[in-house]
Structure 1
Amino acid sequence: MPSALPIADPAPADGLLPASVAEDAGERDFGVYVHVPFCRVRCGYCDFNTYTASEIRGVKQSDYAGQAIAEVALAERVLRDAGVPHRSASTVFFGGGTPTLLPVADLAAMLAAVRDTWGLAPGAEVTTEANPDSVDADSLRDLAAAGFTRVSFGMQSAVPHVLATLERTHDPARIPFVVQWARDAGLQVSLDLIYGTPGESLADWAASLDLALAQHPDHLSAYALIVEDGTKLARQIARGEVATPDDDLQADMYELADETLAAAGYGWYEVSNWATDDAHRSRHNLAYWTGQDWWGVGPGAHSHIGGVRWWNVKHPAAYAERLGAGVSPAAGRETLDAETRRVEAVLLRSRVVDGLPVGMLEPAGRTAVAGLIADGLVEGAAAVQGNVVLTRRGRLLADAVVRRLLG
């Protein structure tokens, strides 16, 4: 089952935010995340807030769009009452779960609610995640007609035995077709990969990279498999049925990915993300890494506005009940103090290629930069220009670098 929510302060029933969230709001981008918590099958490694049909008896997927639209209306009221100036959404991201399990008409209705409430900024990025077996040529054309600009396919691997271990349901032979259908519809394409699955060899990983690159996606993500407590995969490993992922092999896989993608013309812009050029970076995810504002719609979705962070109740039934009663679905929240925001900025902005301004560091952190350069973890030339940018080795040891930067 999905992981537990964080422990924090209770959220007010009306969702009211402090007036402080309006300070400098006009200087921050505003995005909307829509969580669709439904999946056809629960993958053994997954710790996301998702539910299969057998886990949500009494909850109708057909009711979900209306519930999400109700939260959009609540969000507009909460932001207005807090004095936050009107801002058009610069990005909208539908994640899950599998958003494309819902009819395109439902996704279109939720996007229309965002557009009608806040408007979409010129050139807004509008993304949906999709499993390769959850779309076809017609549905992708309909998504584009509804205003989606980008689709992120959960490819994960090109190797059947790796997909079987991950309990992914699609046939890798379908990848070229869905990518072509998306391109024919005028959508930008991102492919998501996972490396380090138990039983996956370096040759298997190379095959996945080759198939992904053969599709010439605009964007590619590659994430190391993390074994989350409480998942089926964690239990299989504990029983000795599946091997524990090998950290050294995962490091080799990351280096192979970075070398292969760089040779194919893709530039890294965040530790686990590459794009053909700046225009095809995920602007929605960059908003998370650079501390912008976003409202998360849906069960378990997290939001951040002006240094206040909150998260919704997790189960779709509880979410629907709250909205039906006219009550905020928020389960808890926290107000970040200046030091917490600085620490999080160091943690997140050090992960992106644009770098962390050295001026954001305390004296001990600025002193540490020279040692990090000497250890081959930080780019010397970038540091001279005032930014901490990780080398490839530094990306592999990003957590250790952050600890040194924070002193």
Structure 2
Amino acid sequence: MADAPPFGPAHGFGLYIHWPYCTRICPYCDFNVYAAKDRDNAPLNAALLSDLGRHADLLAGHPALGSVYLGGGTPSLMAPADIAALIKTADQRFGLEADAEITLEANPVDINRAALESWKAAGVTRLSLGIQSLDNEALNFLGRDHDAAMAQRSVAEALTVFENLSIDLIYARPGQPQASWKTELTDALTLGAPHLSLYELTIEERTAFGQRARRGELVPMDDDDQADLYELTQEVCEARGLPAYEVSNHAASKHYQSHHNMTYWRGGDWIGIGPGAHGRLTVDGTRIATHAPARPADYQLSAQTPLEPASFSGLSPMDNARELIALGLRAEAGFDLERITQVTGSEIDPDGLKSFVETGLIRQNGSTVSLTRAGRLLADRIAAELSP
């Protein structure tokens, strides 16, 4: 990898597909989502396939895809035949690596044997299950449409078909005691999923929770209490053999780490299709940021026109360096100082680097810089201060 460019498909090449519809909108969700209702999905499915084609025309020199991630929204609401068509078309237009990771996000209410087997037959190799909590009161607070018993059953049933299973949990909820989170997390680990994504509740302005917070009806947990829960999370997961390989993600082994997300953290390329999807692509040596129109109707219209390289603004060297640092620091593997020098032509401030090493927030091994466990609590601040 020493002779590889500092960013681009040499560091991973993936496809993200955004399905924007949900049966209900969760009050904490800040993603580009819409109520599913009784929509005719055929125009959106056609647009997704068309978008794959126009990206293939733009990226003729790219390698085979190492990962496909169907996220949302709730892509488990898609018809299995439509999921299969997307995966098949991605393979036809780009090729899929022999061991490509193909992830589908799903909700517990959508889990049954027939659905699981149809997803596997469509080509899905990994399931990401949004159980969010194993506490009924918390699930009600979070606006979820399942209870704890259904969450547990869905994990057990999913594991009979997908051994590569991830579950999501949200913690640091207002007033959440350490003891109850430790019990909930321990129970979640006992379910046997080899990957956990554990997110602290963030109150975003545009959400229903954001509106409640502005009215004083909801008080977010303070930073110190969140930090205590984060430390507890690391201790519990490490003791059960699922250490963090990224700030919020834990895996039983390297095999179960999210290959798709590693592409983001390593500075690889990914295609983003679907309403509001973001992408990072390298075209003729220039790294570009793509952002699809957010509204489904606008997206469907845009997918009918070819992608022209001239219509995109290339990211500046500083933009690229900041992304490599911010995303690289999230993962346990860290980032390579030499890649930053390649991008900007200059080195990261050695005094700033030394200061973080001396305070025990980062570690440096040759040209590789990564966060310590203590440093993960301050990941955003450290990335900002190290960035040129």
Using the size of structure 1 for normalisation, the TM-score is: 0.86
2:329 aligns with one of 325, 350, 363: 350
Q: 1:91 & 1:308 partners in 2: Cα distance?
A: 20
CA drift at 1:232: 0.7
1:214 and 2:195 correspond = no
2:12 aligns with one of 29, 34, 50: 29
Question: What's the counterpart of residue 340 of structure 1?
Answer: 319
RMSD: 2.3
Superimposed CA distance per residue, residues 52-90 of structure 1 (whole angstroms, 9 cap, x where no aligned partner):
035xx8x5224432221111111112223xxxx142111
Q: 2:172 & 2:308 partners in 1: Cα distance?
A: 36
CA drift at 1:256: 0.8
Q: 2:268 & 2:9 partners in 1: Cα distance?
A: 11
Residues 345-384 of structure 1 correspond to what in structure 2 (within 5 A)? 345-359=324-338, 360=340, 363=347, 365-379=349-363, 383-384=364-365
Q: 1:302 & 1:173 partners in 2: Cα distance?
A: 35
Question: What's the counterpart of residue 381 of structure 2?
Answer: 400
Corresponding residue SS for 1:32: strand
CA drift at 1:27: 2.7
Q: 1:339 & 1:326 partners in 2: Cα distance?
A: 31
Question: What's the counterpart of residue 181 of structure 1?
Answer: 157
Q: 2:206 & 2:146 partners in 1: Cα distance?
A: 24
Q: 1:153 & 1:175 partners in 2: Cα distance?
A: 9
1:66 and 2:50 correspond = no
Q: 1:302 & 1:337 partners in 2: Cα distance?
A: 17
- Aligned length in residues: 374
Contact 2:329/2:383, CA 8 A, preserved across alignment: yes
Which deviates more, 208-217 or 353-362? 353-362
CA drift at 1:271: 0.8
Which segments of structure 1 move beyond 3 Å, counting only runs of 4 or more? 22-26, 325-330, 358-364
Q: 2:350 & 2:241 partners in 1: Cα distance?
A: 33
For 2:226, give the aligned amino acid: Q
* 5+ long unaligned stretches in structure 1: 1-21
The 1:88–1:246 alpha-carbon spacing in structure 2 relative to 1, beyond 3 Å, is same
Contact 1:154/1:191, CA 8 A, preserved across alignment: yes
For 2:362, give the aligned amino acid: V
The 1:293–1:26 alpha-carbon spacing in structure 2 relative to 1, beyond 3 Å, is closer
Corresponding residue SS for 1:121: strand
Corresponding residue SS for 1:296: strand
Q: 1:28 & 1:371 partners in 2: Cα distance?
A: 29
Question: What's the counterpart of residue 317 of structure 1?
Answer: 297
Corresponding residue SS for 1:369: helix
Corresponding residue SS for 1:198: coil
For 1:369, give the aligned amino acid: L
The 1:317–1:364 alpha-carbon spacing in structure 2 relative to 1, beyond 3 Å, is closer
For 2:352, give the aligned amino acid: A
Question: What's the counterpart of residue 203 of structure 2?
Answer: 227
For 1:389, give the aligned amino acid: S
Question: What's the counterpart of residue 174 of structure 2?
Answer: 198
Q: 2:313 & 2:73 partners in 1: Cα distance?
A: 26
CA drift at 1:200: 2.4
Contact 1:196/1:246, CA 8 A, preserved across alignment: no
Corresponding residue SS for 1:133: helix
Superimposed CA distance per residue, residues 356-375 of structure 1 (whole angstroms, 9 cap, x where no aligned partner):
23443755532223221222
* 5+ long unaligned stretches in structure 2: none
Q: 1:366 & 1:216 partners in 2: Cα distance?
A: 44
Using the size of structure 2 for normalisation, the TM-score is: 0.90
CA drift at 1:26: 6.1
The 1:285–1:364 alpha-carbon spacing in structure 2 relative to 1, beyond 3 Å, is closer
For 2:350, give the aligned amino acid: R
Question: What's the counterpart of residue 122 of structure 1?
Answer: 98
Residues 7-406 of structure 1 correspond to what in structure 2 (within 5 A)? 27-53=10-36, 59-80=39-60, 85-306=61-282, 307-323=287-303, 325-326=304-305, 333-359=312-338, 360=340, 363=347, 365-379=349-363, 383-406=364-387
Corresponding residue SS for 2:49: helix
Superimposed CA distance per residue, residues 321-348 of structure 1 (whole angstroms, 9 cap, x where no aligned partner):
333x445599x84311222211211111
For 2:231, give the aligned amino acid: E
Contact 1:313/1:329, CA 8 A, preserved across alignment: no
Identity among equivalent positions (%) equals 34
Q: 1:326 & 1:176 partners in 2: Cα distance?
A: 45
Contact 1:31/1:295, CA 8 A, preserved across alignment: yes
